[in-house]
Structure formats: C-alpha cells, structure tokens
Amino acid sequence: MSYQKLVSELKRLHYLNSALDLLGWDEQVNLPKKSAAARASQSSALSDLIHRESIHPQVDDWLNALEQDPNALTTEQQCVVQEARRNFDRAVKLPSAFVARRAEHQSRAYHAWVEARKNDDFVSFAPFLKTQLELAREEAGFFGLDGLQAYDYHIDNHDPGMTASVIGTLFDSLKSEIVPLVKQILSSAVKPNLSMFKGFPIAQQEAFLKRVTASLGFDYDRGRLDVAVHPFCSGNGEDTRLTTRYFVDNPLDSLFSSIHETGHGLYEQGLPLEHLGTGLGTAAGMGVHESQSRIWENQVARSRSFWDYWEPFYREAFPEQLSGVTSEQLYLAVNGVSLNPIRVDSDEVTYNLHIILRFELEKCLFSGELDVVDLPAFWNEKAEKIIGLRPTSDVEGVLQDVHWSSGAFGYFPSYCLGNMLAAQLWYSALDALPGIEIDFSNGDFTRLLSWLREKVHCEGKRCDLMNLTKKVTGKELSSDSLIRYLKERYLPLYQQT
C-alpha cells in the first residue's frame, strides 16, 4: 500500500513542479516587462509550497516502510524508491525559507542578466551573480559541504554520481586532442562563407524548421515551439516546450538551435509517460539529456545524408537566397569551423573548449580562488588561452550565458559529457543499425529514434551517465569516440583543394 501511496504523491508533486516549469517557460517567452516582480513572487510562493509538500513526514514514513523490506519490491519499484529517497533527503535538508529566497532571487537575477547583457554592463549584474554564488554555497553548506565539495554537490544535482575530479580527467584528455585539431582545421585554406546567408524571412524559416523537427519525430500535438532570447526546452513528455530565436541573416542558427532543442524534446517525449514523476519516467541527468540533443543536432543534422534529403526542400523554401550558394558551400557552412567568442554560436569542434573554460572558472569560483568582481578579466584571459580568442566586450565574454543568472552552477560540464556520450551512441547505432544513413537520405529518421527510445529513453533514471554509457555502448565514457567522430567528419572536409 505504501508503494501506491508514494507513487501517487510523487505524481502529484510532478504536476505541481510542471506548473512551476510552465511559469518559468512563460517568463522567458511571454512575460510583460513590468510583470517580472509579480512572476518572481508567484514562482517563490509555488516553490515554497512544493518544497513543503515534498518534505512531508508522511513521504518519509512511506519510504521507511518500503526500505525495510526491499526484497518485497521489484527492481523497477526499487528504482522508484531510491530516486524518491534521494530527492526527499536533498529537499528535507533545505529550509523552506531558503528555498523561497532562492527562487525569488533566481527570477530577479534572470531579469538583471537580461538588462546587463543588453547594455554590456557586468557591474549592474555582479551583485546578483555574487548572491547566486553565495546561495549555491549556502545550499551545499546544508549538506556539510564547502569549497570544491560544494561544486561536486551542484554537479551531482545535474549529473548524479559525477564529480569535478572525474570531469577534470575527461576534459584534460579531450583538450589535449581538440586544441591541435582546431589548429589543423583553422590552418586549412578551405573556409566556410556564412556571409552568403542573407535575407531569410522569418516566417519561411519557422515553417521549414517545424517541418524538419516534425520529421525527426517531435510530436507537435503535445509540444510547441516559441521564441526566446536563449533557446531552451522545458516541460515534459505530456507538454514539451521548445524555444528558438530567429535571425534574418543567420538562418542556420535558428535551424540548428531548434534541432538541438528537439533532441531534448524527443527524449522527454520518449520517457515512459505512465512513470512520469518517478525515477522510471525521469531523465537520467543533464549529460544524457545533452547527448540526445547533440546526436540529432550534430551527428545527424550535419551529415551529408541528412542534407541529401533536405537540401532540395531548403532551396525550395529560399530559392533566391540560395541561388548563388553551391551544395558544397551549403554543406561547408553547416559544418563551418571558426573561432567565435560566443558558446552558442560556436561549431561543434570549438564548442568543447568553451565548456572547458567555464568548468575551470566554476572550479575557481567555488574554491575561492576567484571573486565575482574579477570574473570578466579572468574570463577574457582564460578564453584567450583555452579558445584562442579574447572577447572584446562582456557580452562576448562573461555575460553571454543565462546559466549562472539562474544559479545553475555545475551545469556546463554536462554539455561536453553529452558530446562524448552522443559520439559513443552514434558509433553504437551505426553498428546496430546497418544502412541508417541511407534512411536519413530518404528523410527517414525512425530507426534511430526507435533505437534511442529503447536504449536510452525507456531507461528513465535506472542508470546514471557512467553506467548508462557502459550499458548501451559497452565502453566507459571517454573522449575517444568524440575525437574519432570529429576527425572523420571535419578533416576530409577541410582537406579539400
């Protein structure tokens, strides 16, 4: 009986949480400027309510009863109980007043970031960021953790089981291979020409990318696509919200952002709906989530076979704009590699260096080596060293990402871990699904989606990132497949004469 009661309570909490999610989506998509303070109060009130409900002693009683006789539970039920216990223990140590204060500050800090970014004014954002960092430290402090252990706590919140030390080892080996690879590609005489992509009307861009994302399998009857400053995916399989942004003179940005967010959406839509709210219906972590967005954005949508199918339709949608662009120029633009100070505008090769930069900065922030006020200068110096490019403004540097404004420390590494897993999954899929790229050239993506559904989506949170990687690909998570994939895709392209 305790198990049924627990599951029905977890589902009720899931619906409360999804309402909070929806407020967050609305805040970034629809909110009138002067309504921001009211939204902060709404989010704070609802967060407080959810927190109180999720630490109700009754939940602890049910968990204790179930934990007394674990053998009476099926493996699936054990997974649900373990995940519920982890969440309960994490929530119960946080005072409700802290949770409400954090939610309220999160909303204010987000709007301060939007303004600061608009005005290239880090000084106005610095106090908000400083408070976010203090709140992050305070949160870890409730678990008796400080310094780099506090950073591990936040990493673990996004990717259960992961630590800064494991990530550091993975990133060191990645960096040692990526840096020379980037140099080799950039020294090529072959250069993408994005200046040819001008004057793409937004309505046609939207129509085209909706067609593409629907063909990948996104179900628009239980999801939608809107515009936001920073593309993201929120919601769950019952109601998945994707966002993108449009630039008339940079149509590939909105297309690939949308495909990326669609990958996240496909994962959410592929999680078993009947288990929503429990560990069996929850994503395994952000690294796995990113692997799902990356595999569609990069391995699939930047491939020749994908463009064999979509190029004629792209030309049909933009006949004049693409009239002077050859097929090879289009393919090279899709796979353009160049140094860019902005992470979200970076290609998939240099992107990894942006993440390594942020990981190193976060470590310094948590260890106390770096103060928030010194962040812009430190960022610029490190960017020059790691990426090979010095930002010319804070908008190009420390103000570019939304994450820290919402207190999401320890999130950035997930992007790179996701890139590694995506490449490992890609080679496993190529082995398991012979001729898959021929499917792509016929506009058919169903076999890959079904494989991901079965191997990754249906697993829910049964395994963490490391264990899922081993289970599905037969190998430990490493940078090997990512390096192999990048070399196989980019070196031939940039060796042309």
Site stretch for Zn ion (CB under 5 A), options 98-106, 112-120, 177-185, 292-300 = 292-300
Residue number, 293 or 352, with CB nearest to Zn ion: 293
Which of 43, 157, 213, 293 touches Zn ion (CB under 5 A)? 293
Nearer to Zn ion, 139 or 347 (CB): 347
Task: Please enumerate, as own/partner, the contacts of 375-379 that have beta carbons within 8 Å and a separation of 24 or more.
Answer: 375/122, 375/126, 375/129, 376/122
Contact string (CB under 5 A) for Zn ion, positions 436-465, x = contact = ------------------------------
Cβ neighbours for 410, distance < 8 A, ≥ 6 positions apart: 151, 152, 153, 154, 155, 156, 157, 158, 362
From the list 58-66, 287-295, 343-351, 441-449, the region that binds Zn ion by CB under 5 A is 287-295
Q: Which one, 242 or 449, has the nearer CB to Zn ion?
A: 242
Q: Give 289 or 462: the residue with its C-beta nearer to Zn ion.
A: 289
Q: Minimum CB separation from Zn ion for residue 260, in Å?
A: 6
**DSSP code at position 83:** H
Query: What is the C-alpha separation between 335 and 322, in angstroms, rounded?
Result: 17
The residue whose Cβ lies closest to Zn ion is: 293
Contacts of 343 (CB under 8 A, 6+ apart): 351, 354, 355, 358, 400, 401
Name the one range near Zn ion by CB under 5 A: 167-175, 291-299, 355-363, 440-448.
291-299
Residues 6+ apart with CB under 8 A from 178: 349, 350, 352, 353, 483, 486
Q: Which residues are catalytic?
A: 261
Q: How far is the CB of 342 from Zn ion (least distance, A)?
A: 15
Under 8 Å between Cβ of 436 and 447: yes
CB closer to Zn ion, 269 vs 293: 293
Which window, 23-31, 166-174, 293-301, 312-320, contacts Zn ion (CB under 5 A)? 293-301
Cβ atoms 278, 241 nearer than 8 A: no
205 belongs to the binding site for Zn ion (CB under 5 A): no
Q: Least CB distance from residue 286 to Zn ion, whole Å?
A: 8
Say if CB 30 and CB 75 are below 8 A apart.
no
Strands 223-227 and 239-244: parallel
- Say if CB 295 and CB 481 are below 8 A apart: no
Tokens of 219: 């179900």
Q: Minimum distance from CB of 285 to Zn ion (Å)?
A: 13
Looking at the Cβ atoms of 403 and 487, the one nearer to Zn ion is 403
Contact range with Zn ion by CB under 5 A, out of 76-84, 250-258, 275-283, 285-293: 285-293
Q: Shortest Cβ distance from residue 482 to Zn ion (Å)?
A: 16
Q: Which residues have a Cβ under 8 Å from the Cβ of 443 and sit 6 or more positions away? A: 215, 309, 310
Binding mask 172-201 for Zn ion (x = CB under 5 A): ------------------------------
Count Cβ neighbours within 10 Å for each residue of 293-329 and write b for 16 or more, e otherwise.
Answer: bbbbbbbbbbbbbbbbbbbeebeebbeebbeebeeeb
Within 8 A by CB and 6+ apart from 54, the residues are 13, 87, 88, 91
Least distance (Å) between residue 41 CB and Zn ion? 29
- Measured from the CB atom, is 380 or 424 closer to Zn ion? 424
Structure tokens at 222: 């239980």
Count of residues in contact with Zn ion, rule CB under 5 A: 1
Least distance from Zn ion to the Cβ atom of residue 6, Å: 31
For Zn ion, give the closer residue by CB, 44 or 293: 293
How many C-beta atoms lie closer than 10 Å to residue 274's C-beta? 8
Q: CB 496 → Zn ion: shortest distance, Å?
A: 31
Q: How far apart are CA 189 and CA 325, in angstroms?
A: 19
Beta carbons within 8 Å of 187's beta carbon, 6+ residues apart: none
The helix/strand/coil state of 94 is coil
Segment contacting Zn ion by CB under 5 A, of 140-148, 288-296, 335-343, 396-404? 288-296
* Interface positions with Zn ion (CB under 5 A): 293
